[in-house]
Amino acid sequence: MSKSYFDETHCAIGHPKSTFMQWMLTIDHKRIGLMYAAVMFTFFFVAVSTAFLMRLELLAPGSQYIDGDTFNQAFTLHGVIMIFLFIIPGVPAVLGNIVMPLMIGAKDVSFPRLNWFTFWLYITGTIVALASLFTDAGFADTGWTFYAPYSINTSTNVIFTLVAAFILGMASILTGLNFLVTIHRLRAPGMTFWKMPLFVWGIYATAWIQLLATPVVGITLVLAIMEKYFGIGIFDPAKGGDPVLFEHLFWIYSHPAVYLMILPAFGIMSEIIPVFSRREIFGYRAIALSSASIAGIGYLVWGHHLYTSGMADTAKVIFSFLTFFVAIPTGIKFYDWVATMYKGKIILSTPMLWALGTIITFTIGGLTGVTIAMIGVDIHLQDTYYTVAHFHYAMLGGVVFLFFAGLHYWFPLVSGKMYNETQAKIAFYLQFVGFNLLWFPMFIAGYYGMPRRYFDYLPEFQIYHQVSFVGAVIFITGLTYMFVVFFKGWRSGEPSGTNPWNATTLEWHMPSSPPPLENHSKVPYVDFNPYEYHHGEPVVKFDYETMKRID
Partner 1 sequence: MATKTIDYKKERAGYYKILVGLLLLTAVTFIQPGLFMQESTFLAQMLIAVVKGWMILMFYMHLKGESLIIWMTGFSLFIVFTFFAIVVGIDVQKFQYKDESHITPKYVPVKAAEHGSEAHSTHSKAVEHDSAAHSTH
Partner 2 sequence: MSHEYVPEIAVDREGNEHEVQGWQDDFYGGKLGFWLFMFTEVLMFGAMFMVLAYYNTLHPQDFLDASASLNRLLGGTNTVILLVSALTMGLGLLKMRVGDVKGAKLMIVATIILATAFLVIKGFEWNAEYKHGVFLLHDKLLVGTPDSLPFGQKLFFGMYFTMTGLHGFHIMIGIGLMIWLLKRINAGKVSQDHHILFWNIALYWDIVHLIWVFVFPYYYMIGADGIQMSDFSMIFGGATNGH
Largest CA-CA distance found in the chain, in angstroms, rounded: 74
- Least CB distance to partner 2 at residue 170 (A): 9
Piece of the chain touching partner 1 by CB under 8 A; list 15-23, 99-107, 144-152, 199-207: 144-152
**Which residue ranges make up the site for partner 2 (CB under 8 A)?**
1, 5, 8-9, 106-112, 173, 177-178, 180-182, 184-186, 188-190, 211-212, 214-216, 218-220, 222-223, 226, 230-234, 238-242, 245, 249, 252, 522-525, 527, 547-549
CA-to-CA distance for 225 and 163, rounded, in angstroms? 8
What is the total count of residues that contact partner 1 (CB under 8 A)? Answer: 32
Rank residues 126 and 382 by Cβ distance to partner 1 and give the closer one.
382
310: contact with partner 1 by CB under 8 A: yes
Compute the least distance from the CB of residue 525 to partner 2, in Å. Answer: 4
* Residue 177 C-beta: closest distance to partner 1, Å: 11
| C-beta of residue 274 within 8 angstroms of C-beta of residue 281 | yes
> What is the CB neighbour count within 10 angstroms for residue 544?
16
Is residue 215 a contact residue for partner 1 (CB under 8 A)?
Answer: no
Residue 88 amino acid letter: I
Burial of 49 (0-12, 13-18, 19+ CB in 10 A): middle
Q: If DSSP codes are grouped into helix, strand and coil, which group holds residue 451?
A: strand
Which lies closer to partner 2 via its Cβ, residue 190 or residue 495? Answer: 190
CB nearer partner 1, residue 68 or residue 310: 310
Closest residue by Cα to residue 413 from 318, 516, 328: 516
In whole angstroms, the minimum distance from the beta carbon of 275 to partner 1 comes to 31
Q: Which of 61, 296, 511, 514 binds partner 1 (CB under 8 A)?
A: 296
Q: What share of the chain is helix, strand, coil (3-state, %, to 5)?
A: 70, 5, 30
Rounded CA separation 116/31 (Å) = 10
SS3 track for 214-269: HHHHHHHHHHHHHHHHHCCCCCCHHHCCCHHHHHHHHHHHHHHHHHHHHHHHHHHH
C-alpha distances (whole Å) from 35 to each of 48, 54, 92, 423 are 20, 29, 13, 25
Which of the ranges 25-33, 52-60, 96-104, 145-153 carries the binding residues for partner 1, by CB under 8 A? 145-153
Q: Residue 360 binds what, of partner 2, partner 1, none (CB under 5 to 8 Å, by partner type)? A: none
Binding mask 225-254 for partner 1 (x = CB under 8 A): ------------x--xxxxx--xx---x--
Binder among 138, 149, 514, 516 for partner 1 (CB under 8 A):
149
Which helix or strand (DSSP H or E) is residue 110 part of?
none
Q: Which does 149 bind (CB under 5 to 8 A by kind): partner 2, partner 1, none?
A: partner 1
User: Nearest-5° angle of CA 282, CA 274, CA 475?
Assistant: 115
- Choosing from 2, 312, 492, 545, the residue that interacts with partner 1 (CB under 8 A) is 312
Select from 12, 311, 359, 444 the one that contacts partner 1 (CB under 8 A).
311
CB neighbours of 120 closer than 8 A, spacing ≥ 6? Answer: none
C-alpha to C-alpha distance for 496 and 413, rounded to whole angstroms = 8
**Whether 450 contacts 457, CB under 8 Å:** yes
Q: Considering CB distances under 5 to 8 angstroms, the limit depending on partner class, which of partner 2, partner 1, none binds residue 135?
A: none
214 binds, among partner 2, partner 1, none (CB under 5 to 8 A by kind): partner 2
256 or 416, CB closer to partner 2? Answer: 256
Among partner 1, partner 2, none, partner that 186 touches (CB below 5 to 8 angstroms by kind): partner 2
Distances (CA, A) of 325 to 109, 294, 297, 363, 472: 34, 10, 8, 16, 34
**Smaller CB separation from partner 1, 76 or 519:** 76
376 touches partner 1 (CB under 8 A): no
Query: Shortest Cβ distance from residue 394 to partner 1 (Å)?
Result: 20
Q: Which is nearer to partner 1, 149 or 511 (CB)?
A: 149
Cβ 199 to partner 2 shortest distance, Å? 20
Helices and strands (H, E) in the chain, number of each type:
19, 6
Q: Are 77 and 139 in contact (CB under 8 A)?
A: yes
* Residue 254 interacts with which of partner 1, partner 2, none, CB < 5 to 8 Å by class: none
CA separation for the pair 55, 153 (Å, rounded):
28
Out of partner 2, partner 1, none, what residue 289 binds, judged by CB under 5 to 8 A for its kind, is none
Summarize as ranges the residues that interact with partner 1 (CB under 8 A).
147-150, 184, 212, 237, 240-244, 247-248, 252, 296, 299-300, 303, 306, 308-315, 318-319, 382-383
